[in-house]
Structure 1
Amino acid sequence: MTLEGQINRYLESIPEPKQTDMRRLHGAILEMNPGCKLWFLDGKDETGKVVSNPNIGYGTLIKKYAGGKIKEFYQAGISANSTGLSVYIMGIDDKKYLQERYARTIGKASITGYCIKFKALKDIDLAILKAAIKDCMEQTRA
């Protein structure tokens, strides 16, 4: 199955109203980053064990580890979870950046060092979320 097919199957598997919110987020991120690399992680490890929720990733982040190992991953990702939606913003070294810059204005969301979690799009300011994604993707562009 193609990558787009996997993403569409994942989106179709999400119950409403989360599915509509995920589709809106997916479209918004693609609109902000036309032609970016797409990723789909099904949430399973190499043995087939479920270790996370499936997620869709956008862009390319090159992470260099202390031992010299280099890993390619996505810059931003989205996922549906049991309580709502998560937006992952990877590669920001300052783990307080998202919280300090966006927590006061985004609405009803919890923000960690790399994740913005909320129940539904109606609970947050989508323009602020898009600004956070754009800001961080620009900071980590490969």
Structure 2
Amino acid sequence: MLTFDTARRLADAALAEGTRRRAAPLTVAVLDGGGHEVVVYRQTGSGIARPQIATGKAWGALGLGFSSRGVAGAAARFPEFFNALAATGGRVVPAPGGVLLRTGEGDIVGAIGVSGDNSDVDEACAILAATQVGLQPEPPLPAGG
């Protein structure tokens, strides 16, 4: 189970990593395993659509069972799949930055979505945040961190 305290720590860690990387202002959404928003943080200066984008990255990862980077890859390979995703009312955002959160046993407990900088930076902030709070991110932290 993903607690409010863990979700808050995830969001704080993602924002801290963005600051460390000198990223553009970020928005972070943390969803529980049922796709419900637990926390959404928007830094001053982060665009007004960023909460929906961050949530869509996380929601798509949860809904499809793989990271939003994987969702983007599937959309590129299968355009009809992407069209079907559009029928979700825009809830799925096929761009890196949505990361599944697993326990050490491999159970999915939620997802984190980050939006505000380029998608690779968004994703890196999400992955590092997950590892900092003791969860297993998917995709995992690349070798060399």
Q: TM-score, normalised by structure 1?
A: 0.30
* Highest RCO, 1 vs 2 (Cα 8 Å, sep ≥ 6): 2
Q: Which of structures 1 and 2 has the bigger CA Rg?
A: 1
User: As a proportion of its length, which structure holds more helix?
Assistant: 2
Q: TM-score, normalised by structure 2?
A: 0.30
